[in-house]
Chain A
């Protein structure tokens, strides 16, 4: 048998974008960075075309309706409805497996029902991902945004039941 070739040295992998506990932090791209910056300030804002006014999500360089490259970030009321939800069970990344089953939801915004955000339904902004009794989740339930600081300078929107 010939000797096994040695593995070529790999270029350093980017540091995993996780909290100390191993939860995944958002890794913004250029288009998404303003969303996360506004979230850090406790504001839910969605990209809109500065020329024709149509909202779009996820953010992108130009407007698919009028092709304008000018955009603005419009503040939302933060109210929405649950569009769908799942309860992930293991196998999961360890930090998520610890809280499983938890919920992951899609929220349609009342201000713009075609804009739907993935998030978590929790009992308070900083509560665990499994803090809401699963029987409380139903499609159409009213929710409002809350902001949770996952790590230094990294804030994510989360969702509370309007009628807890």
Chain B
């Protein structure tokens, strides 16, 4: 079976709405706009769509989407859990469905009004996430607090500093400053702004945290054969993986032998195993950045450097255009938009089409990752 998925499918259409703090339209409307834009980009009629994949946290379900856009008979639909950990898996599920004949035209999407809506952690009636009894009574309330604990330990064990986290925030902000669609397009970041900003959960400051965004994105997956007849240059799904490592506990992963070796490691092992590529072959990466510390952890997990070397990897402009590994070239969750990582998928497609606003010259391979710190997923895309 190994390799059955390799290059068998391609992303042939992408779509997005504006990104803003407050959009007037509903999540449902935004979802339909992004999906119809993606189908239009692909040159595929909505009536041909027979597969859907999204996140369990997506509030607009397949029934609403299918009847609104005018899909035909839908023969595959799936939802992936764990918030932003599911982003790449939505494409992976469609790729598997298309490769095995369960669907012919698949649409993945995420629509979210996080900018104007309530934050999940403010709900006191449910103890989110599942192990909430062990964390929430002690005021460990938000994902920023949960990741902040891992970040402090990482800094302690490996000598990482706030300057390393700033390198991450700056690379994303610099790319957003090139991207007119980004929420932070005309808002440069300086080291002074970073170092004097307010704390959210010390050691994490305001600029270590992703944006609060209203917006929606979608993409279209078809077979490689069909992709050759589409309007746009195909971007092939070269390898895809999900990862729930042994003894993993979700965002509050303090209870296994090595909490700093997160789901990226397990996902990466499977991703590379089914790939012709190695980390050295990756031209550009879109790495899930709900919080800056997730970047060094992911750089280690996906094999761009050794254990404990992720912070040092960010030095010397390594993450900028022209650096060792340009990342989050649309601005990422930190500076373009935070839509549970779906903008990272679409930006990967733009890079491999050659039409990113911060284009890496001749980019032919792109790693896209989903949320580190939760059961996660990743894609290796190639042109």
Q: Does A85 contact B (CB under 8 A)?
A: yes
Give the residue name and chain of the B residue nearest to A13 (CB).
B125
B138 with A86: CB separation less than 8 A: no
B142: chain A residues within 8 A (beta carbon): 88, 92
Number of A-B contacts (CB under 8 A): 118
Which chain A residues in 47-95 approach chain B with CB under 8 Å? Answer: 57-58, 64, 83-89, 91-93
CB of B370 to closest CB in A, whole Å: 24
A80 to B17, CA, bound (A): 51
Knowing A27-B133, A120-B139 are in contact, say whether A84-B153 is a contact too (CB < 8 A). yes
CB of B64 to closest CB in A, whole Å: 14
A92 with B124: CB separation less than 8 A: no
Q: C-beta contact mask, A97-125 vs B, less than 8 Å → 1, else 0?
A: 00101101010000000111111100000
B202 with A86: CB separation less than 8 A: yes
A92: chain B residues within 8 A (beta carbon): 139, 141-142
A116 with B202: CB separation less than 8 A: no
A129 to B245, CA, bound (A): 34
B112: chain A residues within 8 A (beta carbon): none
Give the residue name and chain of the A residue nearest to B203 (CB).
A86
Report the interface size class on chain B: 35 or more
A112 to B141, CA, bound (A): 26
Knowing A29-B133, A83-B153 are in contact, say whether A129-B202 is a contact too (CB < 8 A). no
CB of A160 to closest CB in B, whole Å: 15
A120 to B126, CA, bound (A): 22
A26 with B255: CB separation less than 8 A: no
A118 touches which of B119, B122, B254 (Cβ 8 Å): B254
CB of A119 to closest CB in B, whole Å: 5
Give the segment of B144-152, B187-195, B270-278 that binds chain A.
Answer: B144-152
A24 with B137: CB separation less than 8 A: yes
A139 with B153: CB separation less than 8 A: yes
A79 to B257, CA, bound (A): 19
Q: Does B199 contact A (CB under 8 A)?
A: yes
CB of B158 to closest CB in A, whole Å: 13
Q: Does A146 contact B (CB under 8 A)?
A: no
B139 touches which of A17, A18, A27, A96 (Cβ 8 Å): A96
B255 with A93: CB separation less than 8 A: no
Knowing A92-B139, A104-B138 are in contact, say whether A24-B199 is a contact too (CB < 8 A). no
Which of A14, A27, A120 has most chain B Cβ within 10 Å? A27
A150 with B156: CB separation less than 8 A: no
CB of A34 to closest CB in B, whole Å: 12
A89 with B199: CB separation less than 8 A: yes
B141 with A88: CB separation less than 8 A: yes
A29 to B137, CA, bound (A): 14
Q: Does B252 contact A (CB under 8 A)?
A: yes
B138: chain A residues within 8 A (beta carbon): 104, 118-120, 156
Q: C-beta contact mask, A8-44 vs B, less than 8 Å → 1, else 0?
A: 0000011111100011111111001000100000000
Knowing A58-B131, A93-B122, A116-B255 are in contact, say whether A23-B201 is a contact too (CB < 8 A). no
A88 with B139: CB separation less than 8 A: yes
B133 with A114: CB separation less than 8 A: no
CB of A36 to closest CB in B, whole Å: 8
B249 with A89: CB separation less than 8 A: no
A57 touches which of B141, B149, B150, B255 (Cβ 8 Å): B255
A14 with B137: CB separation less than 8 A: no
Q: Does B96 contact A (CB under 8 A)?
A: no
A104 to B252, CA, bound (A): 13
Which chain B residues in 233-278 approach chain A with CB under 8 Å? Answer: 247, 249, 252, 254-257, 259
A118 with B140: CB separation less than 8 A: yes
Which chain B residues in 71-120 approach chain A with CB under 8 Å? Answer: 119
Add 15 more A-B contacts to A104-B138, A116-B255 (CB < 8 A). A27-B133, A58-B131, A58-B134, A84-B153, A84-B156, A84-B254, A85-B149, A89-B200, A104-B140, A104-B145, A104-B149, A118-B135, A129-B139, A139-B153, A156-B137
Please list 11 pairs of residues, one from A and one from B, whose beta carbons are closer than 8 Å in the complex, sorted by A's number.
A15-B125, A23-B137, A24-B136, A88-B148, A88-B201, A92-B141, A99-B139, A106-B153, A118-B138, A120-B139, A139-B156
Contacts from B to A (Cβ < 8 Å)? 119, 122, 124-127, 131-142, 144-145, 148-150, 152-153, 156, 198-204, 247, 249, 252, 254-257, 259
